[in-house]
Amino acid sequence: MPMKACNYNDARRGFLKKSAAMAALYLTPTTLVKAFAVDAFVPTPIAKEKLTITINGKLLHLEIDARSTILNLLREELAFTGTKKGCEMGQCGACTIHINGKRTKSCMQLAVANQNNNITTIEGLSTTEQLHPMQAAFLKHDAFQCGYCTSGQIMSAVACVREGQAKTRDSIKAFMDTNICRCGAYQNIVDAIEEVAKTGTKI
Amino acid sequence: MNTNNMNTIFWEDERVDGADKVTGKAKYTAEHSLPNLAYAVFVTSNIAKGNIKNLDVSKALAMPGVLDVIYYANCPAVPGYSTNSVERPKNVSEWRGHKVLYDNKVRFFGQPIALIVADSFENANAAVRFVKPDYETESFETNFDKARLDAANLKSPFNYKRGAGITKTIAANVDAEFNIPIEVHNPMELQATIAYWEAEDKLLLYDKTQGPKSTQSVVARTFGLPEKNVRVIAENVGGAFGSSLRSWSNVPAACIAAKKLNRPVKLVLTRPQMFSLIGYRPQSWQKVNIAADAEGNFLSINHEAISNTSRYEDFREGIVDVSKFLYACDNVTTKYSLLPLDLSTPIWMRGPGEATGCFALESAIDELSYKLKIDPIALRIKNFTTINPENKLPFSDNNLKACYDYGKEKIGWKNRPIVPGTLKENGWLIGYGMAVGVFGAGKGSASVRVVLSNDGKLLLECAVSDMGPGTTTSMTKIAAEAMQMPIGKIKFKLGDSDLPPGPSQGGSGTTSTVGSAVDLACKTVQQKLKELAIQFASSFAGLTADLMDVKNEMVVLKTDTTKNIDIIGLLKLANQEKIDLIINSSGKTPEQLKFTSNSFSAHFVKVAVNAKDGKIKILEVVTTGDAGKIISPKTARSQMLGGVVGGIGMALSEKLELDHSTGQIMNASFGAYHVPLHSQIPKTDAWFVNKPDMNMNDIGAKGIGEIALIGFAAAIANAVYNATGKRVRDLPITPDKLGFKVAKA
């Protein structure tokens, strides 16, 4: 996309985009959006940014709104609605995904900061027709009720086992404290994780 | 896991919709996509009360992608917003609650004052801060503790009195006050609406609601549409706990915007808005006075309560009701008043008023037990009643004693110190506590469509919703048992107002109400099958239906099951593609109305309180429920576990903090409003009496959702007292209230 003539605000935005992207983990999206123009009134159209990203094994070349978080990109643009929006402040864990294999709260990540990154969402967790062992364990142990925090819980749970944090119930709980379940399925979630960890299967 | 006598005839144990939820396929309100969808966000007030003199929307309107900024000056007329009952058409009722985008009045901090609609979520959000209000502020009051002291601020007292007064000698008496702060439901799914006018007078809504029919009716009456022209879809509901029992401002706002822009509009609240725009458990003050004789017989109970409401609506719940009927007592008086504040309107939150009332009553009974030197369980058994003392009707069933027996044994009640504060292990004070919960068990009317096709599959439909308890699963199980056929061949469809009418999911009534309709629908289908067999199957010719059974997908002769015909074969023989019926199930029968029905729970807790800093740890929980027959053991157990988690939050950490100088909520986020997390949840044993209550309905099942939480906070408070000798009557129970100095971070 051709760039527009550069005025002060555009240049400022360009700068802030880069620094904001680096600060993405620490700032809320609201703060980020504010950071793009502070108090400046910017009625000019927002330029789209190019993004190359792999989502659930599929390489995508996208043009996206630079302000979009990965969460909103997934849910609003790409129809991957399995990843949930619960707070947009990095406090509830409902939006947990894996970026390059590491669990990450997708509401805290600007999409443009993820050039060439490899994203796995709940939809891509199982690479076969079968449920992923963690999904099956959640089902077996009734580790959810309304199901809204479930995608995030499962993505965190997989990371918990992969990172060797599922050795005791207490260590599972400590690792999973990032993910709120308001229905209160906590005990069943820990049961599910413990069972998967005990099988020793590589997940 | 609970191993008591569960019905094990079923084939599958998991939630029937579970696979969709663990794979992310289940779609919630905001996840539905429509072509040309526009995104709306609320701009909210930053004063608590006053008028908007001027709202400058010009800059916001000029922002990229912004399609409109809707506010009081440009909002299209909404028929139900009219306060003039004469002017309103017959099919229009006045919108209850805050009329969003209607006038320039601000009634509470965080009230929506404008709606920005844009072509993307990012563009809508970016414009929010360019809406500039110019306010004329008015004085306001958000301080419950202060305002309740002036009787002139109180309104609408409800009084109740029975009994001629105490004639026996009072041996002990408890007179105590209890305070519960505002608590917020905070379901994980954000409140959301997608509105789309498919035609001038035809509206499609995807809405997060506990009642598709209720939303349909409210929206139809607000916009002056025939009900059939409003379709409300709520396929999956991501938790609600009461917060989606009514339509809030997001519903008319989305409808207004979609109409004005003539395209579908999606409005999703933010987490901070979830604290101020969709209700909360009201703040309450209670005073309980119980007098007893030396044997522990309750001589009188006086229960007084005040809870807050908004300035523009009265909200009242059953806070003092438990004191009227849970225990045998001749003399009972209750009084309940409302205190209007400049806040938004509260709404029922899980265990609604009963959870509030039981905290006070069950704490006071515990306190009384120490004064009388009677074990708290023995004291409750002493005042146990099989007759509801309020309406004098017998309870359809009351198995609290079985709950006591199980809980006492499992928690290790024998280890409970008789003198509080005397059991110490490794620097922790150990204590045991218990408390009771109770909630009315209703049965209302519902309609169910049942379709048995000639491929042997059974479809049931009802316009209820499932916010998490597992309604789809339990309805499927009820059908499986009634039809004696595998769960895998049954599908229960809900969450769409186009389906036959069912109740809102609330007040622990879904299983009883819709389950009774499902049961009746299946029995009616069986009757039809028997009639078809008599008419078309030669081996049944001349027989009568009472000699036949329908089971294992066959019509069989009771006395000789080798005489049978399979359902598929029978429908083909009768040349019928399907049996397709709509069955209406009514409320309680005259026979069922001879009883009063309740679900009961008893919660047992073992806590440890750090002797140095007062940190409270829940070590173990045993929670027991008396809810008639347990239809779906796995999901029922999950509901009890969830009630424990909610109860721990209520008891130990949840409190909405208001800045009374501005009226602003100070902790409107998960970071600052503390709901329980994984590491705060102890090992929990959930157990059910699991005895069908056949006086209540034909399926013998009562509700679980409310009793799972009701009483739990008192069980913790009682255990903390037993551990420390300190009685905390103000929730949440924190170390400072136990007299410990809290280190500053």
CA dist B612 → A179, B428, B608, B743 (Å): 30, 8, 12, 11
Residues of chain A neighbouring B23 (CB-CB closer than 8 A): 82, 122-123, 126, 131, 135
Per-residue pLDDT tens over the stretch B45-70: 999 999 999 999 999 999 999 999 99
Q: In the predicted model, is pLDDT for residue B741 greater than 90?
A: no
Break chain B into its structural domains and give their ranges.
Answer: 32-138+186-276, 284-442+593-738, 443-587
Q: At CA B68, angle to CA B66 and CA B73, rounded to 5?
A: 145
Contacts of B524 by beta carbon, 8 Å cutoff, 6+ apart: B450, B581, B583
Provide the token pair at A14. 């360009």
Q: In the predicted model, is pLDDT for residue B709 greater than 60?
A: yes
Which ipTM was obtained for this model? 0.96
So what's the architecture of B443-587 in CATH? 2-Layer Sandwich (3.30)
Mean pLDDT of B145-170: 97
Query: Does the A8-123 domain belong in CATH 3.10.20.30?
Result: yes
Provide the token pair at A112. 């443009």
The A residues from 111 to 170 touching B (CB cutoff 8 Å) are 121-123, 126, 131, 135-136, 138-140, 142, 144-151, 154, 170
CA dist B648 → B71, B184, B421, B652, B710 (Å): 41, 14, 21, 6, 11
CA–CA gap between residue A188 and residue A137 (Å, rounded): 10
Contacts of B538 by beta carbon, 8 Å cutoff, 6+ apart: none
Buried b (16+ CB within 10 A) or exposed e, B54-90: ebebebbbebbbbbbbbbbeebeebbbbbeeeeebee
Note the pLDDT of residue A35: 44
CA–CA gap between residue B376 and residue B711 (Å, rounded): 14
* Look-up of token digits 């290790």: B412
Provide the token pair at B681. 């949840």
Same fold? B32-138+186-276, B443-587: no
Mean pLDDT of B342-369: 98
Note the pLDDT of residue A43: 75
CA–CA gap between residue B743 and residue B745 (Å, rounded): 6
Q: At CA B250, angle to CA B246 and CA B254, rounded to 5?
A: 125
Strands, E assignment, B242-281 = 265-268
Mean pLDDT of B655-670: 98
Q: In the predicted model, is pLDDT for residue A37 greater than 80?
A: no
Mean pLDDT of B283-312: 98
Break chain A into its structural domains and give their ranges.
Answer: 8-123, 133-199
- CATH class in words for A133-199: mainly alpha
Flag whether residue A102 sits within 8 Å of chain B, measured between CB atoms.
no
pLDDT class of A33 with cuts at 50, 70, 90: very low
Per-residue pLDDT tens over the stretch A7-24: 333 333 333 343 344 444
> If DSSP codes are grouped into helix, strand and coil, which group holds residue B422?
coil
Mean pLDDT of B93-97: 94
Q: Do B641 and A82 touch (CB under 8 A)?
A: no
Mean pLDDT of B358-373: 98
Per-residue pLDDT tens over the stretch B535-591: 999 999 999 999 999 999 999 999 999 999 999 999 999 999 999 999 999 999 999
Note the pLDDT of residue A69: 98
Per-residue pLDDT tens over the stretch A127-165: 898 999 999 999 999 999 999 999 999 999 999 999 999
> If DSSP codes are grouped into helix, strand and coil, which group holds residue B600?
strand
Q: What percent of chain B has pLDDT over 70?
A: 98
> If DSSP codes are grouped into helix, strand and coil, which group holds residue B52?
strand
Residue of B12, B13, B21, B281 to mutate for A, most A C-beta atoms under 10 A: B21
pLDDT class of B87 with cuts at 50, 70, 90: confident
Amino acid letter, residue B133: P
pLDDT class of A60 with cuts at 50, 70, 90: very high
CA dist B687 → A79, B106, B202, B690 (Å): 41, 48, 48, 9
> If DSSP codes are grouped into helix, strand and coil, which group holds residue A144?
coil
Note the pLDDT of residue B501: 97
> If DSSP codes are grouped into helix, strand and coil, which group holds residue A197?
helix
Superfamily of domain B32-138+186-276: Aldehyde oxidase/xanthine dehydrogenase, a/b hammerhead (3.90.1170.50)
A48-55 vs A118-120, strand pairing mode: parallel
> If DSSP codes are grouped into helix, strand and coil, which group holds residue B453?
strand
Q: What percent of chain B has pLDDT over 90?
A: 96
- Radius of gyration over every alpha carbon of chain A, rounded to an integer in angstroms: 19
Note the pLDDT of residue B744: 56
Note the pLDDT of residue B202: 98
Per-residue pLDDT tens over the stretch B406-454: 999 999 999 999 999 999 999 999 999 999 999 999 999 999 999 999 9
Give how far A56 is from chain B: nearest CA, Å.
13
Residues of chain B neighbouring A154 (CB-CB closer than 8 A): 22
By the 8 A CB rule, do B482 and B445 touch?
Answer: no
pLDDT class of A39 with cuts at 50, 70, 90: low
How far is C-alpha B445 from the chain's CA centre? 19
Residue A11, sorted as left (phi over 0), alpha (psi -120 to 50) or beta, turns out to be: alpha
Note the pLDDT of residue B11: 43
Residue of chain B minimizing CA distance to A92: B670
pLDDT class of B12 with cuts at 50, 70, 90: low
Which CATH entry fits the domain spanning B284-442+593-738: 3.40.50.150, 3.40.50.300, 3.30.365.10, 3.30.70.890? 3.30.365.10
Would you list the DSSP string of A83-106?
Answer: SPPS-SSSSS-TTEEEETTEEEEG
Backbone angles phi, psi at B140, to 5 degrees: -145, 170
Give the closest residue to B681 by CA, choosing from B711, B710, B707, B651.
B651
The A residues from 39 to 68 touching B (CB cutoff 8 Å) are 41-46, 65, 67-68
Q: How many CB pairs below 8 A link A and B?
A: 199
Note the pLDDT of residue B13: 82
Looking at B132-236, list the stretches that DSSP marks H as alpha helix, in order from N- to C-terminal side: 144-147, 212-223
Q: Which helix (H) or strand (E) holds B35?
A: none
Provide the token pair at B734. 């924190």
> If DSSP codes are grouped into helix, strand and coil, which group holds residue A116?
coil
Per DSSP, what are the bridge partners of residue A52? Answer: A61
Give how far B185 is from chain A: nearest CA, Å.
9
Smallest Cβ–Cβ distance between A148 and the set B25, B238, B241 belongs to B238
CA–CA gap between residue A117 and residue B457 (Å, rounded): 46
Provide the token pair at B550. 């329908």
Q: What is the mean pLDDT of chain B?
A: 96
